[in-house]
Chains A and B, each alone.
Chain A
Amino acid sequence: MLDMALTTGVMHVTVGNVAMWLIGLFFIYLAIRKNYEPLLLIPIGFGILIVNLPLTFLMEQGRGLLWRFYHYGLEWEIIPPLIFLGLGAMTDFGPMIANPKTLILGAGAQFGVYVAFFGALILGFNVREACSIGIIGGADGPTTIYTTVRLSPHLLGATAIAAYSYMSLVPIIQPPIMRFLTTEKERKIVMKQLRPVSKREKILFPLVTVMVICLIVPASAPLMAMFMLGNLFKECGGVRRLSDAAANELMNIVTILLGISVGATMSAEHFLKLQVICVFVMGIVAFAFSTAAGILLAKFMNLFSTEKINPLIGSAGVSAVPMAARVSQAMGSEADPKNFLLMHAMGPNVAGVIGTVVAAGVFIALAG
């Protein structure tokens, strides 16, 4: 009778397992009830829940179902580039092409990545771990996952959850920093309407970008190439089916696999550690510094520019598309209801994605 009982999972449940069930259920609750990144948090929460059921061996090397998803999807670096293909097919670079200065804001907002990286080094993490923690500041989930899998896979669950949690908390984290660093007068700056962008510019943009970025930072090629391929599908107009497939069906499938694979890495023995709390703390530091750097850079650019930039759009340089741009819009219209910043903020927002990929490429090249 006892032997039979021992074959059930019930007899092997630990306190750690129960804690992880609660964490998994909490993520599912946040996703369903609060609508925090539901596309990711539901599969992640579910993955956490099932991987912490004893004797299921879902993550057993070479045999477990979730291990296969994780191994072939993430360790083989298939899923994040496919996510980028879909993102490219969904992204309109028009606002950024119309105002190329916003690319600089997207680069400036990567400052938090390096601050968190250095902070993590001071806290005692090694260089590869610090890179994975720093990249959270880019507020780009797939890039965080890609970098972590390459550099410190044991931190994957923590960095991925931190990135997606903070991305969904953008409307809470950013506004106080934005208010603190800008004056009422600056928040009221009305920007000139964006110029129309020609079709040829939009088609040439992904081709030029992939060549420039991959020549300068070759390690960013897997993500950048797929990102720009997706965008070329969208803009060329000749492959509507491929563009739609990348942006919809493929994107949905890889999102499921990504979420459940990330959740599956969060077993009690890997997740319930002091190190994970440090990752979360450094993640929010990274986020705050990225937001601040974007705003301060916009203010700095205003010193030399005749066409003033509303500094609120600088904070959109953290990737979190389109949430960060929406926050800029909300803050701008709070200061002046007639001020519409959304399209202006989309420039640094999508530039931030490129900036984060470049930062990740530098980390992988130098620390990988």
Chain B
Amino acid sequence: MDNLTFGLSLIVVGMGGTLLSLYILTLLMNLLKKFFPYGKENENKEKSREEHRDD
């Protein structure tokens, strides 16, 4: 395979790979948001603070 043909395939694989990797990360970020929402974490903190106060 000559340089240019190899170069073209590397562009397709490279750009595709970069987009795919970061797209998968995007999906996982959305999952993280779903499982660990900001509000819930804060509520938990509040609860534990209150429990400490009760102690």
Residues of A within 8 A of B (CB): 96-97, 100-101, 103-104, 106-108, 110-111, 113-114, 117-118, 121-122, 126-127, 130, 195-201, 204-205, 208-209, 212-213, 216-217, 351, 354-355, 358-359, 362-363, 366-367
Closest to A118 in B: B7
Report B11-26 residues with CB < 8 Å from chain A CB. 11, 13-15, 17-26
Chain B, residues 19-47, CB within 8 Å of chain A (1/0): the string is: 11111111011101100111011100000
Q: Are B3 and A127 in contact (CB under 8 A)?
A: yes
**Can you list 15 residue pairs at the A/B interface with Cβ under 8 Å?**
A104-B22, A107-B22, A113-B14, A117-B7, A118-B8, A118-B11, A121-B3, A122-B4, A197-B38, A204-B36, A213-B25, A358-B17, A359-B14, A366-B13, A366-B14
Q: Are A104 and B26 in contact (CB under 8 A)?
A: yes
Q: With A and B bound together, what is the CA distance between A197 and B39 in angstroms?
A: 9
Closest to B28 in A: A208
Q: Are B21 and A358 in contact (CB under 8 A)?
A: yes
Q: Are B7 and A127 in contact (CB under 8 A)?
A: yes
Q: With A and B bound together, what is the CA distance between A213 and B26 in angstroms?
A: 12
Q: With A and B bound together, what is the CA distance between A288 and B29 in angstroms?
A: 29
Given B4, B7, B23, B29, which contacts A205 in the complex, CB threshold below 8 Å?
A: B29
Q: With A and B bound together, what is the CA distance between A216 and B6 in angstroms?
A: 21
Closest to B17 in A: A362
Q: Are B7 and A355 in contact (CB under 8 A)?
A: no
State the Cβ distance, B46 to closest chain A Cβ, in Å.
14
Q: With A and B bound together, what is the CA distance between A209 and B15 in angstroms?
A: 18
Given B4, B7, B18, B36, which contacts A107 in the complex, CB threshold below 8 Å?
A: B18
Q: Are B32 and A208 in contact (CB under 8 A)?
A: yes
B7 contacts which chain A residues (CB < 8 A)? 117-118, 121, 127, 130
A117 contacts which chain B residues (CB < 8 A)? 7, 10-11, 14
Closest to B2 in A: A121
Q: Are B32 and A213 in contact (CB under 8 A)?
A: no
Q: Are A362 and B3 in contact (CB under 8 A)?
A: no
Q: Are A216 and B38 in contact (CB under 8 A)?
A: no
CB contact under 8 A between A110 and B26, given known A197-B38, A217-B21:
no
Q: Are B32 and A354 in contact (CB under 8 A)?
A: no
Q: Are A198 and B3 in contact (CB under 8 A)?
A: no
A197 contacts which chain B residues (CB < 8 A)? 38
A101 contacts which chain B residues (CB < 8 A)? 26
Closest to A204 in B: B32
CB contact under 8 A between A97 and B29, given known A127-B3, A130-B7:
yes
Q: Are A107 and B19 in contact (CB under 8 A)?
A: yes
Q: With A and B bound together, what is the CA distance between A121 and B2 in angstroms?
A: 11
Q: Are B36 and A213 in contact (CB under 8 A)?
A: no
B20 contacts which chain A residues (CB < 8 A)? 216
Q: Are B10 and A366 in contact (CB under 8 A)?
A: yes
Q: With A and B bound together, what is the CA distance between A199 and B41 in angstroms?
A: 8
Closest to B24 in A: A212
Q: With A and B bound together, what is the CA distance between A355 and B15 in angstroms?
A: 10
Q: Are B22 and A358 in contact (CB under 8 A)?
A: yes
Q: Are B19 and A108 in contact (CB under 8 A)?
A: yes
Given B18, B32, B38, which contacts A110 in the complex, CB threshold below 8 Å?
A: B18
Q: With A and B bound together, what is the CA distance between A80 and B13 in angstroms?
A: 25
Q: With A and B bound together, what is the CA distance between A121 and B8 in angstroms?
A: 10
Q: With A and B bound together, what is the CA distance between A103 and B30 in angstroms?
A: 12
CB contact under 8 A between A355 and B22, given known A126-B3, A204-B32, A204-B36:
yes
Q: With A and B bound together, what is the CA distance between A126 and B26 in angstroms?
A: 35
CB contact under 8 A between A104 and B19, given known A97-B29, A118-B11:
yes
B30 contacts which chain A residues (CB < 8 A)? 100
